[in-house]
């Protein structure tokens, strides 16, 4: 099959970028989007041109490395699927595809389709954990967790940190990402002691990193390859409000 | 133990003279780890912060080690080539993690997990290490639960378990089909907590390209910043490699595209012995190859074998759709040949049997390289809802990739390279033959012998990182005197120059072939001759071919771009150059090991019904290879003694 790609090419964060057109014929519909780019890159290298830089690693939708916009949609048209598992059979023969990097102030462009997502690590570092040094844990069954709580925590914990939610959001908000971690840990009994501190610190860090605010648009849920629900944002807001209120009261005492 | 003289005489290797002291404590095995810990020297809390430790890799082993060392008070620098430590390939492990909790009251114990692991490894692992692993397994689950890993639960709130290949008890803990992801996120979050506290400095997008040895001790590494291209030196009092396995030598594997052998290979070339490189595991349940453009193989969790039944048509060349083949014309070959383990035989046995039925011409799918994994009976017995809850995300993934619905038609699976039991040789303290160089997780060779059991890789990575290395590293530091290593010293400069020179040579070759085209060709050679089954003639042939292709590589490779910029082709080029050298050592090791054991199946050595035939009299040892400049590598042997689990022919019938 044939596809026409328009790919964002940009040397580095300081240089201007532009869309470049590439026509690819003889593609196999069973290929993944990234395999199509592999083929393109092999051709570019042999022609003496710079291959397209894009991030990828596991190619089975779990590491969260890959991701770019396809015709304005983060990870492309297939729901709950990262670009590494998006096969070409989902496109029409001869389709024109515009590939662009995640665009957000907090995700500076490094080259072509590659951006710097380290802000997400810093949000986790600010409080996205349960403090239990190795060796300090009680027996696993000493902390019963209801099946329902474990399942709901797992739903939120499935986040792969790809950044699609930020890229899809008109405000470039990281609320789905941050809310997912707050929900995952807050739903479990182990996560209760640090729950208030976690919400306060993670939300503060998210704002410092230059992400926008959530205005309940829901684009993030629509593109999330792991199907994380916007409910996690409600949980984040609730935890944050409650913690701010308690902190203020404690300050007044 | 003399080795077949005729092959050695061909000059493929020479005898080495390393003394490989495993430092395993004597006495009753149940008390060995306690005894070892008691005998270890300690570093006082005030002195811990004076030590700088380098950890390379941020998967289960690396992240858990870096976090735990920092919790203890050491200064840690942690490196990973990915943009975030959370993306290390441990994240892709699906099925679960073993622990001898016996929560199911089905007769499990530390001793049974130990026994299963030694037997599963086909008696090529070190008993004391394996026993310790089984003991620590229990603590790992506790630690991960406390961190908030959302393990599957029963309605009463207790932890759920499933069974896994190679075991008859239910001891595998899991978080849907994303157990590796959840365990890694637990370790990653612990690591990020230490980053925030200033005790770990994280270097993402940074690749280790050489090891620096000063006065016989590992004192630092040379790295390339993958964004700026800068080559830099980092000094420390000890270096920990947690850089995973080398399955990508085969090009097509279930490993992430970036997984590579460079860190351990550079260490090998600086003097660390490489143990059992030919022990590579083929995973029985992967999605079959669909075309030559294919960039990787996707694994379907082995846990699927709990409820799925494996079969092929009874008759050769039966091209009917699976649903049209009546029961009487199906061959459930694992259930037939291994009635007591059935579909749950260990990975090597399952893989070889799949290859055998495909070689007979009974394989399914377009290329005949596949067998069916059928859930029809399980769905009829348990209902679709239960199957969906257990394997929903795996079924979804299968459908996404193949376009077929496994609720309606059986999956097609075929074996693929998945894990490497071989790795750098380490003693009981997890230290390599270079003092101060520790190796943990898949990067070392230690615990799985010639074949790893399912759900044991996660256990080993976390055991090394959370509960072993933090003690043994302290023991090393307390016994040595350190002056601050100087990154401007001749040893560092020499290593840095060597890295710059390699980079220059790759960029200046300006040949006619891409890195990937070479990698693909190399991978096919290794898969054909040093894959699921091997023989002496094939291995000799492969060694010649690998050398030829390797020479062509340095002449003909075409690497675009420059050194001082983001250059993904250059990154790949360096890794593939190392894969060439490793591939040769794998073949030499496979050639020298003139027996079959575990995943290493030499066609010359099999029982009449095609099972692997070990030769304990000649090969009950770890082969630890030593780099010898341009000359053939040196073979050193660590003899293996089995005082508890007596070597027998494995039987899963």
B473: closest CA among B424, B442, B427?
B427
Q: State how far the Cα of B246 lies from the Cα of B253, in Å rounded to an integer.
A: 10
Residues 6+ apart with CB under 8 A from B72: B48, B470, B474
Nearest neighbour of B256 by CB, restricted to A58, A146, A157: A58
Residue B177 has a pLDDT of 84
Residue numbers of A between 150 and 179 with CB closer than 8 Å to B: 150-151, 153-154, 157-158, 160-161
Residues B28-57 have a mean pLDDT of: 97
Contact residues, chain B, for A114 at CB < 8 Å: 566
Domain range annotation of chain A: 3-100, 117-130+145-252
Identify the bridge partners of residue B211 per DSSP, sorted by sequence position: B221
B494: closest CA among B212, B206, B209?
B212
Mutation target to probe the B interface, by most B beta carbons within 10 A, among A140, A150, A189 is A140
CA atoms within 13 A on the CB side of B392: 10
Helix (H, G, I), strand (E, B) or coil at B11: coil
B14-15 and A73-74 beta bridge pairing? unpaired
Helix (H, G, I), strand (E, B) or coil at B635: strand
> Alpha helix locations (H) across B127-178?
127-147
Residuewise pLDDT in 10s, chain A (253 residues): 999 999 999 999 999 999 999 999 999 999 999 999 999 999 999 999 999 999 999 999 999 999 999 999 999 999 999 999 999 999 999 999 999 999 999 999 999 999 999 999 999 999 999 999 999 999 999 999 999 999 999 999 999 999 999 999 999 999 999 999 999 999 999 999 999 999 999 999 999 999 999 999 999 999 999 999 999 999 999 999 999 998 777 665 4
Do B106 and B170 form a contact (C-beta atoms < 8 A)? Answer: yes
Residue B6 has a pLDDT of 45
Q: State how far the Cα of B274 lies from the Cα of B271, in Å rounded to an integer.
A: 9
Residue numbers of A between 196 and 225 with CB closer than 8 Å to B: none
Do B165 and B346 form a contact (C-beta atoms < 8 A)? Answer: yes
Residue B411 has a pLDDT of 96
CA B497 to the chain's CA centroid: 31
B220: closest CA among B237, B197, B245?
B237
Portions of chain B given CATH number 1.20.58.100: 489-619
A45 interface with B at CB cutoff 8 Å:
yes
Q: Is the pLDDT of residue B38 over 80?
A: yes
The domain covering A117-130+145-252 belongs, at the CATH homologous superfamily level, to Alpha-helical ferredoxin (1.10.1060.10)
Q: What is the token pair recorded at B63?
A: 């992240």
CA atoms within 13 A on the CB side of A236: 26
Residue A218 — left, alpha, or beta (φ > 0 → left; ψ -120 to 50 → alpha)? left
Q: Is the pLDDT of residue B4 over 50?
A: no
Residues B618-624 have a mean pLDDT of: 97
Q: State how far the Cα of B551 lies from the Cα of B581, in Å rounded to an integer.
A: 11
Helix (H, G, I), strand (E, B) or coil at B62: helix
- Residue with the bigger pLDDT between A250 and B620: it is B620
* Minimal CA separation from B467 to chain A, in Å: 8
CATH architecture of A3-100: Roll (3.10)
Instruction: Give residue B454's pLDDT band: very low, low, confident or very high (50, 70, 90).
Output: confident
Portions of chain B given CATH number 3.50.50.60: 29-282+419-478
Residues B230-237 have a mean pLDDT of: 98
Residues 6+ apart with CB under 8 A from B9: none
In this predicted model, what pLDDT tens digit does every residue of B160-185 receive, in sequence order?
Answer: 998 876 678 999 999 988 999 999 99
- Residue B410 dihedral angles phi and psi, to the nearest 5°: -60, 150
Instruction: Give residue B391's pLDDT band: very low, low, confident or very high (50, 70, 90).
Output: confident
Do B181 and A113 form a contact (C-beta atoms < 8 A)? Answer: no
Do A73 and A136 form a contact (C-beta atoms < 8 A)? Answer: no
Residues B402-430 have a mean pLDDT of: 96
Q: State how far the Cα of B406 lies from the Cα of B322, in Å rounded to an integer.
A: 12
Residues B610-618 have a mean pLDDT of: 92
Residue B400 has a pLDDT of 86
Contact A31 B153 (CB under 8 A): no
Residue numbers of B between 326 and 355 with CB closer than 8 Å to A: none
Q: What is the token pair recorded at A70?
A: 């396809």
Identify the bridge partners of residue B522 per DSSP, sorted by sequence position: none
In this predicted model, what pLDDT tens digit does every residue of B178-220 receive, in sequence order?
Answer: 999 999 999 999 999 999 999 999 999 999 999 999 999 999 9
Contact B141 A134 (CB under 8 A): no
As annotated, the active-site residues of B are: 347
Please tell me which residue of chain A has the smallest CA distance to B195: A125
Nearest neighbour of A140 by CB, restricted to B141, B154, B192: B141
Q: Is the pLDDT of residue B324 over 50?
A: yes
B604: closest CA among B595, B593, B614?
B595
Average pLDDT over chain B reads 94
Looking up tokens 């279930």 gives B254
B143 interface with A at CB cutoff 8 Å:
yes
B75-79 and B200-203 beta bridge pairing? parallel
Q: Is the pLDDT of residue B28 over 80?
A: yes
Residue A61 has a pLDDT of 94
Residue B2 has a pLDDT of 40
Q: State how far the Cα of B251 lies from the Cα of B295, in Å rounded to an integer.
A: 8
A92 interface with B at CB cutoff 8 Å:
no
Residue B401 — left, alpha, or beta (φ > 0 → left; ψ -120 to 50 → alpha)? alpha
* Neighbour count for residue B148 (Cβ, 10 Å): 27
Q: State how far the Cα of B245 lies from the Cα of B283, in Å rounded to an integer.
A: 14
Q: What is the token pair recorded at A151?
A: 């399942």
Residue B3 has a pLDDT of 44
Q: What is the token pair recorded at B556?
A: 């003909």
Residue B389 has a pLDDT of 85
Portions of chain B given CATH number 3.90.700.10: 283-417
Residues B341-353 have a mean pLDDT of: 89
> Alpha helix locations (H) across B509-556?
515-530, 536-556
CATH architecture of B489-619: Up-down Bundle (1.20)
Identify the bridge partners of residue B52 per DSSP, sorted by sequence position: B75
Contact residues, chain A, for B365 at CB < 8 Å: none
Contact B87 A64 (CB under 8 A): yes
Helix (H, G, I), strand (E, B) or coil at B51: coil
Residue B7 has a pLDDT of 53
| DSSP-derived secondary structure for B338-380 | -TTTGGGS-HHHHHHHHHHHHHTT---STTS--EEEE-HHHHH
In this predicted model, what pLDDT tens digit does every residue of B463-511 receive, in sequence order?
Answer: 999 999 999 999 999 999 999 999 999 999 999 999 999 999 999 999 9
Residue B5 has a pLDDT of 41
CATH architecture of B283-417: Alpha-Beta Complex (3.90)
Instruction: Give residue B302's pLDDT band: very low, low, confident or very high (50, 70, 90).
Output: confident
Contact B291 A28 (CB under 8 A): yes
CA distances to B359, B465, B642 from A185, rounded to whole Å, are: 50, 23, 45
- Residue with the bigger pLDDT between B345 and B618: it is B618
Contact A133 B151 (CB under 8 A): no
Q: What is the 3-state secondary structure (H, E, C) of B429-454?
A: CCECCCCCEEECHHHECCCCCCCCCC
Q: State how far the Cα of A248 lies from the Cα of B18, in Å rounded to an integer.
A: 66
Residue B301 has a pLDDT of 82
Helix (H, G, I), strand (E, B) or coil at B310: strand
Q: State how far the Cα of B375 lies from the Cα of B407, in Å rounded to an integer.
A: 7
- Residue A156 dihedral angles phi and psi, to the nearest 5°: -75, -35
Q: What is the 3-state secondary structure (H, E, C) of B394-427?
A: HHHHHHHHHCCCCCCCCEEEEEEEEEECCEECCC
The domain covering B29-282+419-478 belongs, at the CATH homologous superfamily level, to FAD/NAD(P)-binding domain (3.50.50.60)
Residue B165 has a pLDDT of 67
Residue A248 has a pLDDT of 76
Residue numbers of B between 373 and 402 with CB closer than 8 Å to A: 396-397, 400-401
Same fold, A3-100 and A117-130+145-252: no
CA distances to A159, B183, B517 from A198, rounded to whole Å, are: 18, 20, 49
Residues B50-62 have a mean pLDDT of: 98
B148 interface with A at CB cutoff 8 Å:
yes
Do B154 and B160 form a contact (C-beta atoms < 8 A)? Answer: yes
């Amino acid at each position: 099959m044939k596809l026409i790609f328009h790919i964002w090419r940009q040397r580095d964060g300081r240089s201007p970028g532009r869309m470049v057109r590439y026509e690819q014929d003889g593609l196999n519909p069973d290929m993944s989007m990234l395999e199509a780019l592999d083929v393109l890159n092999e051709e570019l290298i042999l022609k003496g041109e710079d291959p397209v830089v894009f991030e990828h690693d596991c190619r089975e939708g779990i590491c969260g490395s890959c991701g770019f916009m396809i015709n304005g949609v983060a990870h492309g048209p297939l729901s709950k699927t990262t670009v590494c598992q998006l096969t070409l059979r989902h496109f029409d023969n001869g389709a024109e595809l515009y590939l662009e990097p995640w665009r957000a102030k907090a995700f500076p462009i490094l080259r072509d389709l590659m951006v710097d997502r380290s802000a997400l690590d810093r949000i986790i570092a600010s409080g996205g954990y349960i403090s239990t040094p190795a060796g300090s844990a009680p027996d696993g069954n000493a902390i019963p967790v209801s099946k329902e709580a474990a399942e709901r925590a797992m739903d939120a914990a499935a986040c792969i940190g790809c950044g699609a939610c930020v890229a899809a959001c008109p405000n470039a908000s990281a609320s789905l990402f941050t809310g997912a971690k707050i929900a995952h840990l807050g739903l479990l009994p182990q996560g209760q002691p640090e729950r208030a501190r976690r919400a306060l610190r993670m939300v503060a860090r998210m704002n410092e990193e230059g992400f926008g605010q959530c205005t309940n648009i829901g684009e993030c849920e629509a593109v999330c390859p792991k199907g994380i629900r916007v409910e996690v944002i409600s949980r984040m807001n609730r935890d944050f409000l409650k913690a701010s209120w308690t902190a203020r009261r404690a300050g007044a005492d | 133990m003399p080795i077949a003289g005729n092959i050695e005489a061909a000059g493929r290797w020479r005898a080495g003279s390393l003394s490989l002291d495993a430092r395993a404590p004597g006495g009753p095995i149940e008390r060995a780890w306690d005894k070892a810990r008691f005998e270890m020297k300690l570093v006082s809390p005030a002195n811990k912060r004076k030590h700088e430790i380098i950890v390379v890799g941020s998967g289960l082993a690396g992240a858990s080690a870096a976090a735990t060392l920092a919790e203890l008070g050491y200064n840690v620098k942690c490196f990973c080539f990915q943009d975030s430590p959370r993306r290390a390939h441990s994240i892709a492990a699906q099925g679960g993690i073993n622990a001898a909790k016996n929560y199911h009251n089905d007769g499990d114990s530390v001793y049974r997990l130990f026994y299963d692991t030694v037997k599963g490894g086909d008696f090529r692992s070190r008993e004391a290490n394996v026993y310790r692993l089984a003991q620590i397994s229990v603590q790992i689950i506790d630690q991960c639960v406390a961190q908030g890993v959302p393990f599957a639960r029963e309605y009463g709130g207790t932890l759920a378990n499933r069974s896994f290949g190679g075991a008859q008890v239910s001891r595998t803990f899991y978080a849907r089909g994303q157990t590796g992801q959840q365990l890694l996120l637990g370790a990653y979050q612990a690591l990020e907590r230490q980053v925030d506290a200033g005790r770990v400095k994280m270097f993402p997008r940074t690749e280790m390209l050489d090891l620096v040895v000063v006065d016989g001790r590992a004192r630092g590494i040379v790295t390339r910043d993958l964004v700026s291209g800068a080559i830099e030196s980092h000094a420390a009092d000890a270096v920990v490699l947690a850089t995973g396995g080398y399955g990508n030598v085969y090009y097509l594997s279930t490993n992430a595209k970036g997984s590579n052998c460079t860190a351990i290979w550079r260490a090998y070339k600086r003097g660390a012995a490489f143990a059992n490189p030919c022990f590579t595991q083929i995973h029985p349940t992967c999605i079959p190859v669909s075309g030559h453009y294919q960039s990787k193989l996707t694994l379907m969790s082995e846990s699927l074998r709990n409820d799925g039944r494996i079969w092929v048509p009874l008759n050769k060349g039966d091209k009917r759709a699976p649903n049209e083949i009546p029961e009487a014309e199906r061959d459930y070959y694992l259930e037939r040949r291994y009635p007591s383990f059935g579909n749950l035989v260990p990975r090597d046995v399952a893989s070889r049997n799949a290859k055998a039925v495909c070689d007979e011409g009974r394989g399914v799918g377009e290329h005949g390289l596949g067998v069916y994994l059928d859930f029809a009976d399980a769905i009829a017995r348990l209902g679709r809802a239960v199957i969906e809850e257990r394997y929903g995300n795996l079924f979804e993934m299968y459908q996404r990739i193949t376009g077929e619905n496994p609720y309606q038609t059986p999956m097609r699976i075929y074996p693929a390279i998945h894990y490497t039991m071989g790795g750098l040789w380490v003693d009981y303290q997890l230290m390599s033959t270079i003092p101060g160089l520790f190796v943990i997780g898949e990067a070392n060779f230690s615990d799985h012998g010639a074949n790893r059991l399912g759900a044991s890789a996660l256990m080993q990575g976390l055991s090394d990182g959370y509960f072993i290395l933090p003690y043994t590293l302290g023991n090393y530091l307390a016994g040595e005197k350190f002056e601050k290593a100087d990154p401007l010293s001749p040893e560092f400069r020499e290593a840095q120059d060597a890295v710059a020179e390699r980079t220059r040579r790759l960029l200046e070759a300006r040949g006619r072939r891409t890195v990937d085209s070479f990698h693909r060709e190399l991978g096919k050679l290794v898969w054909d001759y040093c894959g699921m089954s091997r023989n002496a003639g094939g291995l000799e042939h492969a060694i010649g071919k690998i050398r030829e292709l390797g020479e062509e590589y340095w002449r003909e490779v075409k690497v675009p771009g420059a050194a001082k910029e983001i250059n993904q082709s250059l990154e790949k080029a360096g890794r593939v150059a190392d894969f060439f050298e490793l591939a040769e050592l794998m073949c030499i090791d496979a050639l020298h090991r003139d027996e079959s054991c575990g995943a290493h199946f030499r066609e010359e050595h099999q029982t009449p019904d095609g099972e692997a035939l070990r030769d304990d009299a000649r090969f009950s040892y770890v082969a630890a290879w030593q780099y010898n400049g341009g000359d053939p590598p040196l073979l050193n042997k660590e003899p293996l003694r089995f005082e508890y689990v007596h070597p027998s022919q494995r039987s899963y019938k």
